[in-house]
Amino acid sequence: MTFDLAGLLESRRGENFRLHSQYLSPQLPRVLETLGFDRFYTRGAGSYLYDAGGRRYLDLLSGFGVYALGRSHPTVLDALHQALDADLPNLVQLDCALLPGVLAEALVAKAHPGIERVFFTNSGAEAVETAIKFARRATGRGRILYADHAFHGLTTGALSLNGGKEFRKGFGKLLPGVDVVPFGDLEALRRELRKRDVAAFIVEPIQGKGVNVAADEYWPAAEELCRQYKTLLVLDEIQAGMGRTGRFFCHEHWGIQPDIITMSKALSGGYVPVGATLCSAKISDSVFSSMDRAVVHSSTFSTNQLAMVAGLATLHAFDEEDIVDRARRTGDLFAKALAPLVERHEFLHAVRGKGLMIGLVFGPPTSRALRMRWRAVETMRRALFSQLVVVPLFHRHGIITQVAADGMNVVKLLPPLIAGEEEVDYFVAALDDVLTSAEQGSGLFFEVGRTMARGAMRRTRH
């Protein structure tokens, strides 16, 4: 008998949260049920998701930035169908297949001239692990620097570079020789680099956790310091890269030329996990320095054909549809439309980020009555206010957003790069509505409380 996917999805519909609780972990279902985010999504198209009840959701999370091209992008979908139909010989291992070479060539062409080689990975964290190993080998040094609030993934090496204690807690000693510097602080960076034992400074161009930005002047100066002390500059472009900020690589905004670049997320086209670590031939050759060391760094699935096809089709769609420039233009539309809300709503202090990596920063209002409301919310739980925005955006308006980091009143938007004026207008009107409610009395507070109470009841039923 054939495997019947449609039949399976139909016959098991609605069991998703129960199965996760029982067989994966009960904690994520708990969180989602409490917020009333438990849905059975049946399809996605462009910037939207649809649930089993037929409700449409504007997806401003994009699978953490994976859906740059939106969902069900026809070019990527068709390319993957072609690849499955062609049933290319895959993972021969004692072979050099064509498509990894073609994708590597295309990625190198997107980067500055010092970037000449690519190592493919299965995830973002693995691309970062690769960067750590390559930098240590190429420099013969052991130390790695990272920035506070950084997020580079959750495997043990990448976790060692994590700026959030909450992620590290309970996992014992991580990599030795790894030290933190404040993000955007040149003097702190200089102090560490001066010791001349740092292999790499690994940093996100815009930090995902909090959408933190450094001053424009920071970047060329940090690059210069790294050069001076022979430390490799590694730009983690896994989230901010691939057009998200209106340039193919975010670091292009500052005209800098990192020694190593990590990418992942959007390169998958939203279908097949893929990551890449880009570097010079010199760095790559230091790792793969002899025939004995031909596979000294490798991973079984890293050049798998479907991932390569997804990557190539994604880059093709980026060029065909002028995605990077569209992202820049839509980013400008967001900035323009959100600015009046900062003026109008005391709770909204600022909008930061670049292009379509947007942080809405909330903080205590100036008027006395609103300040009391703010304090009441924040005393219950630090940074609860941002949930008072995210939850009604979802329930009232069908918009998916996320709190940018634990304990931070910043809501992050990572819209698909194909989003346009319609999505900007819809979101800005919805945010205006939610913030107006937050100012008008305790109604919003009770609304969110009711949602959570219902969620808790559903949880108990399960």
Ligand X SMILES: Cc1ncc(COP(=O)(O)O)c(C=O)c1O
Residues binding ligand X (CB under 6 A): 64, 123-125, 128, 151-153, 204, 208, 236, 238-239, 264
Going from the C-alpha of 127 to that of each of 1, 14, 87, 278, the distances in angstroms are 40, 36, 27, 9
Calculate helix-pair angle for 384-397, 368-380, nearest 10 degrees. 90
Closest CA to 200 of 267, 273, 277: 277
Query: Of 209 and 373, which has the nearer Cβ to ligand X?
Result: 209
Query: Of 64 and 445, which has the nearer Cβ to ligand X?
Result: 64
Closest CA to 236 of 265, 202, 210, 209: 202
CA-to-CA distance for 422 and 380, rounded, in angstroms? 36
Query: Of 146 and 385, which has the nearer Cβ to ligand X?
Result: 146
Query: Of 31 and 453, which has the nearer Cβ to ligand X?
Result: 31
State in angstroms the smallest separation of the CB of 183 from ligand X: 13
State in angstroms the smallest separation of the CB of 380 from ligand X: 28
Closest CA to 236 of 300, 325, 149: 149
Closest CA to 298 of 100, 54, 13: 100
Token pair for 38: 């438990």
CA-to-CA distance for 58 and 411, rounded, in angstroms? 15
Query: Residues with Cβ < 8 Å from 420, sequence gap 6 or more?
Result: 326, 330, 333
Place of tokens 């918009």: 399
State in angstroms the smallest separation of the CB of 356 from ligand X: 14
State in angstroms the smallest separation of the CB of 245 from ligand X: 13
Query: Of 184 and 208, which has the nearer Cβ to ligand X?
Result: 208
Secondary structure string (H, E, C) spanning 430-451? HHHHHHHHHHHCCHHHHHHHHH
State in angstroms the smallest separation of the CB of 352 from ligand X: 17
CA-to-CA distance for 17 and 432, rounded, in angstroms? 32
State in angstroms the smallest separation of the CB of 400 from ligand X: 16
Q: What is the gyration radius of the CA atoms in the chain, in angstroms?
A: 23
Query: Of 212 and 409, which has the nearer Cβ to ligand X?
Result: 212
Query: Of 249 and 374, which has the nearer Cβ to ligand X?
Result: 249
CA 254 to chain centre: 21
State in angstroms the smallest separation of the CB of 404 from ligand X: 11
Query: Of 151 and 374, which has the nearer Cβ to ligand X?
Result: 151
Query: Of 242 and 431, which has the nearer Cβ to ligand X?
Result: 242
CA-to-CA distance for 367 and 145, rounded, in angstroms? 42
State in angstroms the smallest separation of the CB of 236 from ligand X: 5
Which residue number is nearest to ligand X in terms of Cβ? 124
CA-to-CA distance for 410 and 401, rounded, in angstroms? 11
Residue 207 DSSP code = B
Closest CA to 249 of 241, 261, 239: 241
Query: Of 61 and 69, which has the nearer Cβ to ligand X?
Result: 61
State in angstroms the smallest separation of the CB of 452 from ligand X: 26
Sheet holding 56-59, edge to edge: 41-45, 48-51, 56-59, 399-400
Sheet holding 357-362, edge to edge: 348-354, 357-362, 410-413, 402-403
State in angstroms the smallest separation of the CB of 174 from ligand X: 16
Query: Of 124 and 359, which has the nearer Cβ to ligand X?
Result: 124
Helix/strand/coil for 168: helix
State in angstroms the smallest separation of the CB of 448 from ligand X: 26
